[in-house]
Amino acid sequence: MKIVKIAVIAFFATIMVSCGTNYRVVTTLDRDGNVIREVYAKADSAFIAGDLSHNPYLFDISSGWDIIRFDSVMKYNFFGDEESFNVIVSKKASSIDIFSKEVICDKDNREFAAPEETLTKKFKWFYTNYAFTGVYKRLNYNVPVSIDKYMSPEEQKLWTRGDFNTYGVMNGIEMNDILSEIEGKFMDWYFRNCFEISLNCIGNLTNDIITETDKDKIYKQFIDRKQGDDISPKKVCKALDSYYKTTRFTESYKKNEQIIDQEFEEETSVVNVVNNTICYELIVPGRILSANSPIIDSNTMIWKVNGIRILFDDYTLTAEYRVANRWAFILSGLILITAIVSVALLSMGKITAEIN
């Protein structure tokens, strides 16, 4: 168990030193479907001074966004950690789906910056029911080996998002057994892809074609993910030299080190956005009926969205709520009162007629 942890720590250490940023997104809806969106961030001194080129957001804020800068930071409880924000951008819209359609951002940031959001409503006389859906799409990356080869859909969901509906009845020991096994599968997937990507980067320059049989033998013989082995192109070149009893792979790497390493970084660039985290808050004007949000406080629902949660699949936020139609209650009351008065007057008229 301890040696598996070494590999896991190595992986998440890579994530922690990558470019990750925390954001707080507050979406406020009214009963007509109008929206106010506020996005909190931590900006540097240049942006606070007015330099928009130091934009701390994942999207363009130069068109239609109101900017509020603060001289000092505000503290916020960010899922148990204290996060500091010093700038808010806000924008109003007549429909929530407008944001994803109009947002301007780099393609690498679109999964975080432009979730596909919809709001539908269904009239029911005394109440109007609303259904909100927000879809954060799977991170846009390609790897040589699919996660499906190592983990089932259920295991992927548990590892990246948790699944308390299925595993909530287990105690710590039972959960640890399951997670330890899934942890190993995840690291097998991660290391094998780094190995395959390294081979591709090397092969693009050396024009070597390595058979699948040789790949498997080299990986099993020289790559030990349980020890947290380095899985860079340099390490793979040494493994290739050892397997084929040559020095040409390492020599080729030394001559083209910058090109190979740069290609490897580009092919594994998903690590740079995995650490982005969004606290998504949805504030609704009525009573919450249901939601897949782990945190519900009065009329506010809160989700945690980060790169791990959208690493293997889309992450869908759902909520249903209802708003009382006050006019329907008033109108129904007036109709009822009118009916009662009418019946009373008819009854009085009949009584008067009988007396006469």
Q: 259-316: per-residue pLDDT in tens?
A: 999 999 999 888 878 889 999 999 999 999 999 998 898 899 999 999 999 999 999 9
Give the pair of three-digit tokens for residue 17.
């030193």
Which sequence spans correspond to the domains of the chain?
19-141+274-324, 147-267
Residues 275, 280: Cα–Cα separation, whole Å? 15
Residues 6+ apart with CB under 8 A from 239: 218, 221, 222, 223
> CB of 133 within 8 A of CB of 117?
yes
When pLDDT is cut at 50, 70 and 90, the band that residue 257 belongs to is: very high
What confidence tens digit (pLDDT) does each residue in 194-204 have? 999 999 999 88
**Tokens, residue 126:** 């005394």
pLDDT of residue 1: 35
- Full 3-state SS string of 151-215: CCHHHHHHHHHCCHHHHCCCCHHHHHHHHHHHHHHHHHHHHHHHHHHHHHHHHHHHCCCCCHHHH
> Residue 250 has which token pair?
């390492």
Predicted confidence band at 143 (pLDDT cuts at 50, 70, 90)?
very high
Closest CA to 132 of 283, 315, 318: 318
Q: Has residue 9 got a pLDDT over 60?
A: no
E strand or H helix that includes residue 334: helix 326-355
Decide: residue 196, CB within 10 A, 0-12 exposed, 13-18 middle, 19+ buried.
Answer: middle
Q: What is the mean pLDDT of the chain?
A: 87
pLDDT in tens, 126-137: 889 999 999 999
The pLDDT, as a whole number, for residue 19 is 52
The answer, yes or no, to whether residue 255 has pLDDT greater than 90, is yes
Q: What is the DSSP letter of 229?
A: -
pLDDT computed for residue 191 by the predictor: 92
Q: Is 278 helix (H, G, I), strand (E, B) or coil?
A: strand
In 44-63, which positions are buried (b, 16+ CB within 10 angstroms) versus exposed (e)? eeebeeeeeeebbbbbebee
Neighbours of 255 (CB within 10 A): 11
Mean pLDDT, to the nearest integer, of 347-354?
69
Binned at pLDDT 50, 70 and 90, residue 352 comes out as low
Of 200, 199, 251, nearest to 222 by C-alpha is 199
The model's pTM is 0.84
pLDDT tens column, 43-87: 999 999 999 999 999 999 988 899 999 989 999 999 888 999 999
Task: Report percent pLDDT > 70 for the chain.
Answer: 89
Whole-number pLDDT of residue 20:
67
CA angle 138, 140, 143 (to 5 degrees): 105
At 220-253, the pLDDT tens digits run 998 877 666 668 999 999 999 999 999 999 999 9
Sign of the CA dihedral with 194 first, then 20, 308, and 2 last: positive
